[in-house]
Structure 1
Amino acid sequence: MTFEDFNFNEHLAEGLNSMGYTTPTPIQAMAIPVVMQGKDLIACAQTGTGKTASYLLPVLNKIGEGDKRHINTLILAPTRELAQQIDQQVEGLAYFTGISSVAVFGGGDGIVYEQQRRAIQNNVDIVIATPGRLIAHLTSGVLKFDNLQHLVLDEADRMLDMGFMDDIIRIIRYLPAERQTLLFSATMPPRIRQLANSILRNPESINIAISQPAAGISQQMYRVHDHQKIPLIKHLLKEGNYLSTIIFSSTKEKVKDVYKELKSAHLKVKAFSSDFKQTEREEILLEFKNKKLPIIIGTDALSRGIDVEGIDLVINYDAPPDPEDYIHRIGRTARAATTGTAITLINHRDEQKLKRIEQMIGKPVPQMELPAEIGESPAPAPERTHSHNRPHGDGKSRSGANNNRNKKKKWPRKKPSGDKKPNGAGDNSSTPPVVE
């Protein structure tokens, strides 16, 4: 299948061709026909699979077929970073169509609010918004959705995790009852099903590989004592041939600590925090996206708020409390059919978290051997060994499981400089671009 099979209008097709996109991803191939038929949709797909274009392309095609211009589509997103990324994708895909959009989010000064207000009054076609700031425009009376045809909830699970359920319901009260509603989520907990049942009408359902990392990710794990974490990270960054790295930690305090340690080691690194001003965060992300900043450190908020191709290493300073967050963290690498490495550091306190991660992905994360200068790894906790060596019920060992599990892989040697190529570089056998 190619994008030509969807028979998009000529201006939208021209935009796709100019960007070099030819083949849809699985979520795009399944979702686009449903959206073009005007049906409500609930779709579950992990990050990096192209879900944004799976709703943008058919919506842009529908808008392009109309004569009158008004606010046609509302897209709700959990963070300002995601809202801006969607806005940028609309700009690229709709370049030849004349379709306009505006990203509406909080955190800026009065000038930003006024710019958003003017764009809304000029009848843009698509509004991409975070719930809080959108409500501010709605209550001011500036924003009207009388002619709205499409409502999209992107990363709905994240919005609910951030406490936006009441805001979403409040926003929907301002919308026409006759509309097409599309809900996209990386996970499908009961709360999402409940929300879908309350706002969608006879929706089609698409489920693409829930809670499974991309095949191109090399998952690795090191067992460490706490005092070994920073020396190991320094070693990995200095000895490995990595061009673009994200380090995740579960708390802002640890983010600051890791940043100070790596900065003192003369590594080019910056911390990313919600405590920073919006302009600071945008500047850091732009540097990272343009490959001027090789290392960035942040919390799980960054795992949902960054859409950058070419990230070849993700390091989990600590295991996330929710295994779903592990999927989102490591999903920052190996995007768009590329490859990457994800390394998780496990101490005794994180053993149970690792066990839940392995249960979710359906296989053990390979343990690597610490470099000699870092020291010896701590022994695995007894509960972890038992859980992998014995099945439920009879207490007998699985044949060969113990031997295979305890064999450690050697720490990889430094890769030759020719192994890594900037995103998009390569020979004629390289994978064709994927529209996200």
Structure 2
Amino acid sequence: MELFIVNRCDGDDNVEDDKKTKDQSQDHLSELFKKIEERKKLKEKTSKKFKTNETSIVDKNLKNLSLKNNTINDDNDDTKKIKLENDASDIKLTLENNDDDKKIKNDDFMVLGVAQNKKRQIVKRVLPKWLANPEIISANLSTGLSLDNFDDKLDIKLINTLKLNGVEKLFPVQESLINWMNKCKNDRKMGYWPRDTCVSAPTGSGKTLAYVLPIIDQLQQRFVREVRCLVVLPVKELALQVFKVMQTYAGPTDLRVGLVSGTVSFETEQMNLVKKTQNGEYISKVDIVIATPGRLVDHIEKTKGFSLLNLEFLIIDEADRTTEWLKYIPEPHRSPPLLNIKNIKSCKIPPAQKLLFSATLSQDPEKLSRLGLFQPILFTSVVITDRDEDVDLDKEVGDFIGRYTSPQELTERAVECQPEYKPVALVKLITSEDKIEKTLVFTNSGESAHRLAILVGLLLSQKNIIVDELSAQLSPKQRTEVLDKFKNGQIQVLISSDALARGVDIAGVKLVVSYDLPKHIKGYIHRVGRTGRAGLPGTAISILTSNQVSAYTRMLTSAHKAFSAVEQIQSLDTYAESIDYQLHVEKLKDIIENQAIKVADKIKSAKRKHTAKN
């Protein structure tokens, strides 16, 4: 019995079957080639980017397939058919994978080295809720309420002092802060920690009185004299200004105000802050301290008996650029602990309420976090772009975020001239009106202010216009004297470095000129804010050279500030000849050389004296 039946291929029927199978395989292969060619043409039309890669893949596989087809030897026809179908499937799978890769590349993934045609989405920053949803204060200073509306919110002594100083109504920022601080006072009575407060409002909108009035109103009821309020300001001039305002409104009360800014000797400041009793204990002589950061740290470290443990209010007025001094403030005032029931009960001294005031408040959450704010709230003025009273405040609030504010009464201009004629352009701007207005000119350095003051003084001497300078190169006493003369009208034009730019209030300044373009938008905002204050009109002009126009435009655009086109000052060369500009430039050179010789002689003399002593 045969176990296996072996079919031989010698017969004619078998030959015909083999032939038929072979023909079918060839037809199937031709069909595959045809489809591959069609797919190849389709790919070339739809995407030129991958044309080279796809063609090389198809050609390579076709070549391999042809080689395999030509080198088929004596394997049986079924094996041939399986090989051909497998090779064709590989080619089809490769093309389909290329299609999938293209879809992925076009949809979700970025492939390095491949150009992206898809439009990128604009990423919007996500701000903390308190920054993104501020409380709105009107920027229109004429909308303030009269003093009669504050009888139940301010002590009668404060209202009478306001009237004596010619104040008939309060500005919107003052009204908002008084109402808010009264609410915080009630919360404090109930044992709640008061929320920290940030105020971003235009320069000259009354921010100083906004915190002076409610703080004096609340502190006047204290029983023991301790430092309850600390006000930190960036420069001496601003500290002195706030000190005088605080003294004025604290006068009718029993509160005492101290100033530590370096205007007097350190020992004198110590005597004004604390005194030693017969028992050897130190007690505070002041309730409110006005300070600059450096001098404050000196007293914290070196003045015995000077304590900030009982602080109730910590005011940061335009002093938010540097926060190094904050680490010297004792806890819990520096950064309050986490709020929970245990901390409320165990915290013997509640954290001081921080109030941050600035015309250029940072919108950077990281920078603001360094201040250790507790559940902060933001009050801000919206710069209304439409005069229509039916303005959409929700829209304006969204537009405000990241915006720097300037008074509505301020007119901003920019003029362009050649670098060598900048002093001439300045003189022409100052004398453009029949009456010389009180003018404040800003430069980027004390040395530049010194040279420009001499030159402009020479050019304006024939018109009996007094020009002087103010910079960090002068002693504190000299700076105070010059500033007082400028305020009193004895000096008509004051040329200053940025020492005066931040917060100082000088009544009657009608024109502010940025002779040098400031490096940052914050510097620009503080400079122009020296005029157009308290609802009065003012003009700010920037003098630009041709290569500064684009930088000026970018700076104001980045702050979302509207500005007019840059003006061209014509015929400066003719005007320079009429005022003998070149002659005065030569005089300036001689003056500077003589001053340098005197300084060198003074240094040599000091060295000789020092050597003689040793």
Which structure is higher in helix share?
Answer: 2
Whether the TM-score (by the shorter chain) exceeds 0.5 is yes
| Cα displacement string for residues 80-118 of structure 1 (whole angstroms, at most 9, x for unaligned residues) | 111111110012222322322011113643554344444
Give the whole-Å Cα distance in 1 for the aligned partners of 2:380 and 2:317: 15
Give the whole-Å Cα distance in 2 for the aligned partners of 1:3 and 1:277: 41
Distance verdict in 2 for CA 1:361–1:249, change over 3 Å: farther
Q: CA deviation at 1:364?
A: 2.9
Q: Is the 8 A contact 2:437 2:509 kept in 1?
A: yes
Moved more, 38-47 or 102-111: 102-111
Give the whole-Å Cα distance in 1 for the aligned partners of 2:555 and 2:564: 9
Map of 2:211 onto structure 1: 55
| Cα displacement string for residues 150-205 of structure 1 (whole angstroms, at most 9, x for unaligned residues) | 11111133xx2xxx322122224484552222111222325576435752221221
Match of 1:12 among 150, 154, 158: 158
What is the count of residue pairs matched by the alignment? 371
Give the whole-Å Cα distance in 2 for the aligned partners of 1:30 and 1:192: 24
Correspondences of 1:168-187 after superposition (within 5 Å) = 168-173=326-331, 175=333, 177-187=350-360
Q: CA deviation at 1:32?
A: 1.8
| Cα displacement string for residues 382-425 of structure 1 (whole angstroms, at most 9, x for unaligned residues) | xxxxxxxxxxxxxxxxxxxxxxxxxxxxxxxxxxxxxxxxxxxx
Give the whole-Å Cα distance in 2 for the aligned partners of 1:372 and 1:329: 28
Map of 1:142 onto structure 2: 305
Tell me the SS of whatever aligns to 2:502: helix
1:67 and 2:252 are equivalent in the alignment: no
Amino acid at match of 1:262: V
Map of 1:32 onto structure 2: 178
Give the whole-Å Cα distance in 1 for the aligned partners of 2:536 and 2:417: 29
Q: CA deviation at 1:373?
A: 4.5
Give the whole-Å Cα distance in 2 for the aligned partners of 1:256 and 1:197: 37
Moved more, 249-258 or 50-59: 249-258
Distance verdict in 2 for CA 1:11–1:364, change over 3 Å: closer
Match of 1:205 among 358, 365, 378: 378
1:165 and 2:323 are equivalent in the alignment: yes
Unmatched 5+ residue regions in structure 1? 377-436
Distance verdict in 2 for CA 1:192–1:55, change over 3 Å: farther
Give the whole-Å Cα distance in 1 for the aligned partners of 2:305 and 2:551: 47
Match of 2:291 among 105, 114, 129: 129
Q: Is the 8 A contact 1:34 1:204 kept in 2?
A: no
Map of 1:363 onto structure 2: 562
Tell me the SS of whatever aligns to 1:304: coil
Give the whole-Å Cα distance in 2 for the aligned partners of 1:371 and 1:127: 52
Correspondences of 1:31-430 after superposition (within 5 Å) = 31-38=177-184, 39=194, 40-106=196-262, 108-118=264-274, 121-140=283-302, 141-157=304-320, 160=321, 164-173=322-331, 175=333, 177-190=350-363, 194-196=367-369, 198-209=371-382, 210-240=403-433, 241-265=435-459, 266=461, 267-304=465-502, 306-359=504-557, 360-374=559-573
Moved more, 353-362 or 20-29: 353-362
Match of 1:23 among 169, 194, 197: 169
TM-score using structure 1 length: 0.79
Moved more, 272-281 or 188-197: 188-197
Moved more, 145-154 or 50-59: 145-154
Give the whole-Å Cα distance in 2 for the aligned partners of 1:245 and 1:300: 15
Map of 1:409 onto structure 2: none
Q: CA deviation at 1:146?
A: 2.9
Q: CA deviation at 1:229?
A: 0.9
| Cα displacement string for residues 353-381 of structure 1 (whole angstroms, at most 9, x for unaligned residues) | 211243125323343342535469xxxxx
Q: CA deviation at 1:78?
A: 1.1
Identify the structure with bigger relative contact order (alpha carbons < 8 Å, sequence gap 6+): 1
Give the whole-Å Cα distance in 2 for the aligned partners of 1:134 and 1:362: 36
Q: Is the 8 A contact 1:320 1:353 kept in 2?
A: no
Give the whole-Å Cα distance in 2 for the aligned partners of 1:220 and 1:107: 36
Give the whole-Å Cα distance in 1 for the aligned partners of 2:530 and 2:513: 11
TM-score using structure 2 length: 0.57
Unmatched 5+ residue regions in structure 2? 1-144, 185-193, 276-281, 334-348, 383-402, 576-614
| Cα displacement string for residues 122-157 of structure 1 (whole angstroms, at most 9, x for unaligned residues) | 431111111211122111233112322111111133
| Bigger-Rg structure (1/2) | 2
Q: CA-atom RMSD, angstroms?
A: 2.4
Give the whole-Å Cα distance in 1 for the aligned partners of 2:405 and 2:565: 16
Distance verdict in 2 for CA 1:43–1:373, change over 3 Å: closer
Tell me the SS of whatever aligns to 1:156: coil
Map of 2:39 onto structure 1: none
